[in-house]
Structure 1
Amino acid sequence: MLEIKSLTKRFGDKTAVDAATFTVTEPQMIGIIGRSGAGKSTLLRMLNRLNDASDGQMLYEGTEVTRLTGTARRAWQARCAMIFQQFNLVPRMDVVSNVLHGTLNRRSTFATMFNLYPQGDIHKAIEILDRLGIAEQASKRAEDLSGGQQQRVAIARALMQDPAIILADEPIASLDPMNAQIVMDALRRIHEEDGRMVIANLHTLDTARRYCDRVIGMRDGRIVFDGTPAQLTTGVARDIYGAGADFSEAATSTAIETLGKQGDLAPA
């Protein structure tokens, strides 16, 4: 389905992603882990074509996505929906309208200017919100919701695109543990029930082990691990994060970076 061949992104003299290579032959839920600055977000942004690759190829069902331009590129971005850590909602707009923004790629300029939506799309948006347990929030402004609720609105907006792939860039990094579990449960359920591929950047190992079928570890822009959650041992995690023997799995990438400043680990 998805084939990544030596995908590379350089920003000036810095190589953010260095020859990333992996293949996904069936819909999976994949977690990408690594310390801050490992290249995880840049990799997802290349997959969605928000960033162009410096080198390498990405193919999906035989189509070379890295070469798409114009309308074809926008169509790919609809098939490969992106969910961000900071939600990227319109704060003063009601929830259902935020969800309907997932249809913008297939609407006319006139309809977009005057905020006109077909009744069928409105009903679909409410059905998706109901599926995510927040249909009662449909008429509220997005800024009035909790962080966990806003992230579920962002997931609903992605589902309105009817994507084949959902990319989630640190979707729970800013959430408390209870809301983080709700969001991850929702993403796992979407993967299982819809057969959609989900690729998520994650910052805790227990989350990757609990929810993902496959885990990819990145360090300094390179993929240094690609295996099952069972293969993600503490020793492997220590190598991914460039940590010493005192590495604690409870540490997030931010905590590891902080330890580095104290001399315990190499700085990020």
Structure 2
Amino acid sequence: MLKFDKVTKTFGANTAVSAASFTVDKPMMIGIIGRSGAGKSTLLRILNRLSDATSGQITFDGLDVTALRGAAKRSWQSQCAMIFQQFNLVPRMDVVSNVLHGTLNRQSTLATMFNLYPTPDIHKAIDILDRLGMAAHAPKRAEALSGGQQQRVAIARALMQDPRIILADEPIASLDPMNAQVVMQALRDIHEEDGRMVIANLHTLDTARRYCDRVIGMRDGRIVFDGTPEQLTTGVARDIYGADDSFSESMTSTQIEQSAAAAALMEKAAAL
């Protein structure tokens, strides 16, 4: 379905992504790990066409993504939805309107100016919010929500696009461990229930192992690991992060105590 063929991105004398090649032949949840500056975000931005590759080719079901221009490029971006670390919501706008922004690519300019949306789209937005445990917050301003709740609204906005691929750029980097798990489980459920491909940049190894089917490790712009979560050993992680024997996975952990009390809190957080 998805193929990267020697994709490279340079910024002047600096190479952010170097000859990245991999193939994904079916919908799966993929985690991309690596230290800051490894090229993870640039890789996703190239796939979404927020940034252009300097060389190489990306194809999806035979479509040359790297060659798209104009309306064809915008159409691809609606099929390849992006979720950001900073949520990118409109703070003073209500939650359901933020979700409906996922339909802007197919709305007229007039409808967009006056915030007018078809009734079926409004119902769909509320249904998606309900799926993510956020329907009760639909009339609230986005700025009134917690970080974890805002990220779920951002996921709902992405789903409004009805994309084939969801890209998540460090979706839990600014969240506490409890909300991080709620957001990651939401992405995992979307993959499993909808059959959508999900590719997420992650900064914690335990998260990649727990939620992903496949893990890609990047170092200095190059892919240095591509395998299953079980193959992501501590030794492999040291190589990905360029660390010595003092490297400790606990430094990147989002694990919480799985006691009865913690489990109860997770259920409560999912319901909020």
TM-score band, normalised by shorter chain: over 0.9
Which residue number corresponds to residue 193 of structure 1? Answer: 193
d(CA) in 2 for partners of 1:21, 1:105? 30
Which residue number corresponds to residue 260 of structure 2? Answer: none
Which residue number corresponds to residue 149 of structure 1? Answer: 149
- 1:112-161 CA distance string (max 9 Å, x none): 11111000000000000000001000000000000000000000000000
Is structure 2 residue 179 aligned with structure 1 residue 179?
A: yes
Is structure 2 residue 32 aligned with structure 1 residue 23?
A: no
Which residue number corresponds to residue 257 of structure 2? Answer: none
Secondary structure of 2:251's counterpart equals coil
**Would the aligned equivalents of 1:103 and 1:161 in 2 still touch at CA under 8 Å?**
yes
d(CA) in 2 for partners of 1:87, 1:118? 25
Q: Which runs of 5+ in 1 are unaligned?
A: 254-268
Which residue number corresponds to residue 204 of structure 2? Answer: 204
Count residues in correspondence: 253
Matching residue's letter, 1:6: K
Secondary structure of 1:163's counterpart equals coil
Matches within 5 A, 1:41-190: 41-190=41-190
Secondary structure of 1:250's counterpart equals helix
Matches within 5 A, 1:230-245: 230-245=230-245
d(CA) in 2 for partners of 1:127, 1:173? 27
Matching residue's letter, 2:44: L
Matching residue's letter, 1:246: S
Which residue number corresponds to residue 36 of structure 2? Answer: 36
Matching residue's letter, 1:156: A
Secondary structure of 1:251's counterpart equals helix
Which residue number corresponds to residue 6 of structure 1? Answer: 6
d(CA) in 2 for partners of 1:201, 1:6? 20
d(CA) in 1 for partners of 2:172, 2:252? 12
Secondary structure of 1:27's counterpart equals coil
d(CA) in 1 for partners of 2:196, 2:242? 32
d(CA) in 1 for partners of 2:157, 2:143? 15
Matching residue's letter, 1:62: G
- 1:2-21 CA distance string (max 9 Å, x none): 00001111001000000110
Measure how far apart 1:94 and its partner are.
Answer: 0.3
Measure how far apart 1:173 and its partner are.
Answer: 0.3
- 1:84-107 CA distance string (max 9 Å, x none): 000000000000000000000111
Measure how far apart 1:72 and its partner are.
Answer: 0.3
Secondary structure of 2:155's counterpart equals helix
Measure how far apart 1:108 and its partner are.
Answer: 1.0
**Would the aligned equivalents of 1:219 and 1:240 in 2 still touch at CA under 8 Å?**
yes
Runs of 4+ in 1 over 2 A off after TM superposition: none
Measure how far apart 1:251 and its partner are.
Answer: 2.0
Matching residue's letter, 1:21: S
Equivalent pairs: percent with the same residue? 80
Which residue number corresponds to residue 261 of structure 2? Answer: none
**Would the aligned equivalents of 1:16 and 1:220 in 2 still touch at CA under 8 Å?**
yes
For normalisation by structure 1, the TM-score amounts to 0.94
Matching residue's letter, 1:114: F
Secondary structure of 2:209's counterpart equals helix
Matching residue's letter, 1:201: N
Measure how far apart 1:252 and its partner are.
Answer: 3.3
Which residue number corresponds to residue 264 of structure 1? Answer: none
Matching residue's letter, 1:128: I
**Would the aligned equivalents of 1:204 and 1:250 in 2 still touch at CA under 8 Å?**
no
Matching residue's letter, 2:22: F
